[in-house]
Structure 1
Amino acid sequence: MTTFTASPETPLGAAIPVPGRPSANIDIARVADLVSQLLIALGEDPAREGLIGTPERVAAWWSGFLSPDDATSVTCFSEQLSGQLVIVGGMSVWALCEHHMLPMNLQVTVGYVPDGEVVGLSKFGRIAAHFAGRLQVQERFTEQVAEYLTGVIGRKDVAIAVRGVHLCMSMRGVRMEAARTTTLHTGGRFATDPVLSQQFLAAAQWNAA
């Protein structure tokens, strides 16, 4: 896990790189071959109409989902604000459960208290998508987003609420389609100020509705 620590010398408005995903050297041809073998083991014929090209498409998806991407950056802008709570919600990202390799949909709400600068709003979604695009667990995802944003703003005044739908619970095992998993990180003032914490939780609940 990589953490960016804000520096007093970092100019306002500068683009801060997001740490890359774990290195993924993907052998697309090999993945396609394995998918073809899986279809055969499941009693299917990869050469039949409807499955022609499926192994290659699946391999291409894996490559796109897991390929490192260091292009995302976070931009901060100078803005003299005091005591204002900023909440960004309605962010929906997909990750893969590393225990069963089934999808999970994560609804993300982020809150922070600016102090002299604000984070570009579109970057919150990009950060969430960045940490979701891998084999993941919701608990770790929540902490990774919180840790990175803490480094960006240079303080622990960050709160993250994540509400997840896990297909590993909805379509296998207990098969409870209505089950939802919520993870919450509260740092700095969000952990010590009950009013601020309640304001964030109320907004997070509204965004998840």
Structure 2
Amino acid sequence: MIDSDYRCRNEPLSHMEELPKRVDYQRLLTLGRELLIAIGENPDREGLRETPRRWADSWREFIEYDPGMTETTFSSTTTGQMVCVSGIRVSSLCEHHLLPFWCDVCIGYIPHETVLGLSKFARIAHQFAHQLQLQEQLGQQIADEVSRITRTENVAVVLKGEHLCMATRGIRTPGQMISSVMRGIFHEQGEVRMEFLQLLR
């Protein structure tokens, strides 16, 4: 059971404000055409004429993704309850190979004074997935943001990912990568961690 008298002992994690990323769309169009030429294709043949535009559009959509409002919170009338949100699937791009990977994300936290709006967990996860990324870093960034917004250090994130950089190149073997971030009481108390992991099953 969770100790209902447990309180956040530390200040919320710092948050780095960044300007929204914008792509150089015209340069992407040029690069898309040059890429086709570099791999021995004719960008002017039927079937490929619109490919540079589609490719540029997909990069712009990925990089300039807007998660919308992520900071909607409500006053918490109770403390000590574990909240677990699962079934969130996000797609990203491996920063080592520029190949897609996707993750099923599960987030748990123990509210202190505020609770986070339910849809905001998915928005936060997508927000950090829409960049060149590593699965381990993605989990850390999600945990940082949930902790910052809810002002509690008691946050846990588990990601189960599949990576095309492993499945389609190199060893060419499908596999699943599982990573976790455990903060506060999830890290310090094994029974709380086990309760969270049991909920995921």
Mapped contact 1:78–1:117 kept (Cα < 8 A): yes
Mapped contact 1:20–1:70 kept (Cα < 8 A): no
Give the counterpart letter for 2:63 in structure 1: L
Change (3 A) 1:82 1:122: same
Q: RMSD of aligned C-alpha atoms?
A: 2.1
1:117 equivalenced with 2:114 (yes/no)? yes
- After superposition, the C-alpha distances for 1:86-145 in whole angstroms (9 at most, x for unaligned) are 100000001100000000101100001123421100000000000000001011111111
Q: After the TM superposition, which residues 4-15 of structure 1 pair with which residues of structure 2 at under 5 Å, given as runs?
A: 5=12
Bigger mean CA deviation after superposition, 127-136 or 23-32: 23-32
* Alignment counterpart, residue 183 of structure 1, candidates 167, 172, 179: 179
Q: Give me the whole-angstrom Cα distance separating, in 2, the residues matched to 1:69 and 1:48.
A: 35
Q: Give me the whole-angstrom Cα distance separating, in 1, the residues matched to 2:38 and 2:17.
A: 35
- Ranges of 4+ aligned residues in structure 1 off by more than 4 Å: 18-23
Change (3 A) 1:26 1:123: same
Give the counterpart letter for 1:148 in structure 2: E
Give the counterpart letter for 1:51 in structure 2: L
Match of 1:89, SS?
A: strand
Q: After the TM superposition, which residues 44-83 of structure 1 pair with which residues of structure 2 at under 5 Å, given as runs?
A: 44-67=41-64, 69=66, 71-83=68-80
* Alignment counterpart, residue 94 of structure 2, candidates 76, 94, 97: 97
The size of the alignment, in residue pairs, is: 190
Paired residue for 1:33?
30
Give the counterpart letter for 2:27 in structure 1: R
Give the counterpart letter for 1:181 in structure 2: M
Give the counterpart letter for 1:98 in structure 2: E
Give the counterpart letter for 2:192 in structure 1: L
Q: CA deviation at 1:21?
A: 5.8
TM-score by length of 2: 0.87
- After superposition, the C-alpha distances for 1:38-66 in whole angstroms (9 at most, x for unaligned) are 11121211111211211011101111111
Q: After the TM superposition, which residues 106-185 of structure 1 pair with which residues of structure 2 at under 5 Å, given as runs?
A: 106-177=103-174, 179-185=175-181
Unaligned runs of 5+ in 1: 7-17
Unaligned runs of 5+ in 2: 1-10
Change (3 A) 1:92 1:20: farther
Paired residue for 1:15?
none
* Alignment counterpart, residue 194 of structure 2, candidates 190, 195, 198: 198
Paired residue for 1:9?
none
Change (3 A) 1:120 1:167: same
